[in-house]
């Protein structure tokens, strides 16, 4: 049996988190979802194929910073990372933190799934 691809999903809004979680689970992904960056601290255990992080996340770090740190660590640099945000300069932010892709909010769920499939 094929192992499910794993996604760490971090969003600032619980409703959006739950919708994304549900849609991705339906697509066959194993999703670890959170409103905080806690899963990032356990990234070695989780070993995800993809990390989706919102820019405006609760806590001390911005999403771009989280991705930048993942991408600058040899142990985690190969994990695909997608930045999500309502910010108008999202493409530039995603590029600056070396994210593999970005999803602008509000987003279309089909588009989100396409981005996830492309990057996982």
Domain ranges across the chain: 6-119
- CATH architecture for segment(s) 6-119: 3-Layer(aba) Sandwich (3.40)
> How far is 71 from 100, CA to CA, in rounded Å?
10
Percent of the residues in the chain that have a pLDDT greater than 90, as a whole number: 92
Percent of the residues in the chain that have a pLDDT greater than 70, as a whole number: 99
- Its pTM stands at 0.95
* Tens of pLDDT, residues 5-40: 999 999 999 999 999 999 999 999 999 999 999 999
Terminal Cα-to-Cα distance of the chain (whole angstroms) = 18
């Amino acid at each position: 049996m094929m192992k499910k691809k794993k996604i760490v999903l971090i969003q600032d809004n619980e409703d959006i988190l739950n919708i994304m979680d549900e849609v991705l689970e339906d697509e066959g992904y194993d999703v670890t979802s959170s409103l905080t960056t806690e899963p990032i601290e356990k990234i070695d255990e989780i070993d995800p194929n993809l990390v989706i992080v919102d820019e405006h996340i609760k806590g001390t770090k911005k999403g771009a910073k989280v991705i930048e740190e993942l991408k600058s660590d040899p142990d985690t640099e190969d994990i695909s990372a997608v930045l999500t945000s309502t910010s108008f300069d999202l493409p530039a932010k995603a590029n600056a933190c070396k994210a593999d892709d970005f999803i602008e909010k509000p987003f279309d769920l089909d588009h989100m799934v396409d981005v996830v499939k492309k990057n996982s």
